[in-house]
Chains A and B, each alone.
Chain A
Amino acid sequence: MKLGVFSVLSVLGLLAIGVAFPWTKTMLIIGLCYGLSALGVAIPARSGQVSFGHAMFACVAAYAVAFLARAFPLMDGVVLIVLATLVGTLFATVLGSFVVRYRGIFFGMLNLAVSMVIVALLGKLYELSGGTDGIRVPRPVFWGLVTERSEFETMLLFMSCGIALMAGWFYQRFTQSATGQALGGLKSNETRLEYLGISAHHILWVGYAWSGFFVSLAGAIFALAQGLVTPDMGAWTRSGELVFIMILGGSSHALGPFVGAAVFQAVKLFASAYMAGVWQMLLGFTLLAVIALAPEGIMGAWQTYRNRSGKGAQP
């Protein structure tokens, strides 16, 4: 079965689960947000640059939702998501113009450093940000409709699923495009890129901006789903989780980060239910197992298996 078809069927399955078991809706939306964010983290990772601060874009977009909702209480939720995503993307674009000059550990740590500054500012500027308690986001009008919590979650779930599908489609197209392939080329040989007349900085900057777009979009949806934004959304532990999910699922196909997010959420749920005291240990062992047995992640292992069995990886 083609992975694209499998992706569509998976999304339909998620919708069915959400409708059949309403208590899962928030969990599913949050899982999709994690997948979408990890998809964003996977873009610069294709060039060998791993960011340990990307959750800051989700945080910036989430606070943009909160500030906009506070300033314009009648603003539609869809408009909030669009505007907050633009704010997060703009921030990523500006920050990207600086951080793409660095490589490897410096790239990762610079992102981490900026995210820590943002988290600290949001925690300290109590009058503006509500401090570590954060800001409550009231349920907005959505698609022009005043909704109850359950209807709102259903609509948000449908929207998140649609966005996840479009994001996956874009990721696949982008990574196969000339820009995406050049981004992959940056990982193995930046010198050759320059001697082909391609600016490595520009290529990484484009990837970084798209990456920020996906994480910001996820942050904006997350803010509405959770109804509360806190500085913790941008904490380095959250950024680490996104990298964890990306490695777990693999970045060779857009489905990877979403599979990673599903496994991450499942392990976290299982661990917190049955091994509450040592849930991080279980996550750690899961990641160790993936790195040892399937370094390309779950999707990478799946595609390798398909190639070896002669079925071939299909887009």
Chain B
Amino acid sequence: MSQALLRASDVCLAFGGVVAADHIDFELHEGERLAVIGQNGAGKTTFINICTGYLQPTAGRIVFNGQDITGKTPRSIVKLGMGRSFQLPQLFSEHSVQQCLEIAAAARGGRLSWLTSLSDSVDQKEIVETLELIGLRQAGHELAGELPEGHKKLLDVAMALMLHPKLIIMDEPTSGVSSQDKHGLMALVMQALDERKVTSWFVEHDVDIVSRYATRVAAWIDGKIAADGDPQSVLSHPKVREEILGVAAC
């Protein structure tokens, strides 16, 4: 087994009486495609928010790529190579798709120019390649805020990809997308991540998607990891079947 890219040790967080992260120990290794499943309120997004710096854990430690990121801001964690997409896509709605990617590409460089135009300060070849990779080449000049939901999700991932992350965390990448478009969207995303050799972790409710695209599944129940392993074993775990998949154990 390769060295852990992300390691969370004994991470805890409670909101009043609700324990959202209950002594979580977790590792993610390079090259994995981890799917996190669980009921709403199980603490999946909270754990993502802790790992990406949006929330501070009350206890525990998180190490990413060999560096302790506990308590660091999202900005500094992103700079270490962790990208993120959101359940509700976080886009620059008044900018075009191309401009969104250009801002992301410029951000990767660290210093933003004051006088050089944005389009001149980034590698346009890379922008076009990313647009093609994510299937948005035709939508380059459309406003991000006016895209269909599926395209918004793709753009959200593409913006994170522009940072050349080692790990990308996607919170429900297919939510809000019609069932017939979900697989197409995930195929595009996974193809892009494979091509850029990015380790991924995604939260997903659709078992078909999880079975098809994940190499590993972690099941969250009440702020704890109830099962963790290959998709087949986790999805057939009695507790997972009963409490997450809603299938009565027999």
Give every chain A residue within 8 A of B83 (Cβ-Cβ).
Answer: 195
Are A174 and B52 closer than 8 Å at their CB atoms? no
Binary A-proximity of B141-156 (CB < 8 A = 1, otherwise 0): 0000100000000000
Most buried by B among A187, A188, A192, A196: A196
Give every chain B residue within 8 A of A62 (Cβ-Cβ).
Answer: none
Give every chain A residue within 8 A of B52 (Cβ-Cβ).
Answer: 195
CA distance A177 to B115 in the complex (A): 5
Closest chain A residue to B109 by CB distance?
Answer: A178
**Chain B nearest CB, measured from A62 CB (Å):** 27
Binary B-proximity of A211-241 (CB < 8 A = 1, otherwise 0): 0000000000000000000000000000000
Known: A176-B118, A178-B113. A197 touches B92 (CB 8 A): no
Are B94 and A188 closer than 8 Å at their CB atoms? yes
Are B95 and A195 closer than 8 Å at their CB atoms? no
Is B212 interfacial (CB-CB < 8 Å)?
no
Give every chain B residue within 8 A of A182 (Cβ-Cβ).
Answer: 103, 106-107, 112
Binary B-proximity of A178-194 (CB < 8 A = 1, otherwise 0): 11111011011101101
Closest chain B residue to A185 by CB distance?
Answer: B92
CA distance A174 to B117 in the complex (A): 8
**Chain A nearest CB, measured from B56 CB (Å):** 15
**Chain A nearest CB, measured from B35 CB (Å):** 21
Classify the interface of chain A: helix, strand, loop or mixed: helix
Known: A178-B121, A195-B160, A196-B103. A185 touches B113 (CB 8 A): no
Contact pick for B91, options A174, A188, A194, CB 8 Å: A188
Are B112 and A198 closer than 8 Å at their CB atoms? yes
Residues 125 to 157 of chain A near chain B (Cβ within 8 Å):
none
Is B75 interfacial (CB-CB < 8 Å)?
yes
Are B113 and A197 closer than 8 Å at their CB atoms? no
**Chain A nearest CB, measured from B117 CB (Å):** 5
Are B117 and A179 closer than 8 Å at their CB atoms? no
Instruction: Say which size band chain B's interface belongs to.
Output: 35 or more
Is A97 interfacial (CB-CB < 8 Å)?
no
Are B90 and A177 closer than 8 Å at their CB atoms? no
Instruction: Say which size band chain A's interface belongs to.
Output: 20 to 34
Is B4 interfacial (CB-CB < 8 Å)?
no
Are B92 and A188 closer than 8 Å at their CB atoms? yes
Is A306 interfacial (CB-CB < 8 Å)?
no
Are B91 and A189 closer than 8 Å at their CB atoms? yes
Is A199 interfacial (CB-CB < 8 Å)?
yes
Is B19 interfacial (CB-CB < 8 Å)?
no
Contact pick for B95, options A170, A185, A191, A199, CB 8 Å: A185
Are B115 and A192 closer than 8 Å at their CB atoms? no
Are B118 and A195 closer than 8 Å at their CB atoms? no
Closest chain B residue to A210 by CB distance?
Answer: B114
Are B90 and A195 closer than 8 Å at their CB atoms? yes
CA distance A198 to B113 in the complex (A): 12
Residues 64 to 103 of chain B near chain A (Cβ within 8 Å):
73-75, 78-79, 83-84, 86, 90-95, 99, 102-103
Could you name 13 residue pairs across A and B whose Cβ atoms are closer than 8 Å? A176-B117, A178-B103, A179-B114, A181-B99, A184-B95, A188-B92, A191-B90, A192-B92, A196-B103, A196-B104, A196-B107, A197-B78, A198-B75
* Nearest 8 Cβ contacts at the A-B interface: A178-B106, A178-B112, A192-B90, A196-B107, A185-B92, A197-B78, A188-B93, A179-B112
Given contacts A177-B113, A178-B102, could you give 19 more A-B pairs where the C-beta distance is less than 8 Å?
A170-B115, A174-B114, A176-B118, A178-B103, A178-B122, A179-B113, A179-B114, A181-B99, A185-B92, A188-B93, A188-B95, A189-B91, A189-B93, A191-B86, A192-B90, A195-B78, A197-B79, A197-B107, A206-B114
B residues apposed to A, CB below 8 Å = 52, 73-75, 78-79, 83-84, 86, 90-95, 99, 102-104, 106-108, 110, 112-118, 121-122, 145, 159-160, 163
A residues apposed to B, CB below 8 Å = 170, 173-174, 176-182, 184-185, 187-189, 191-192, 194-199, 203, 206
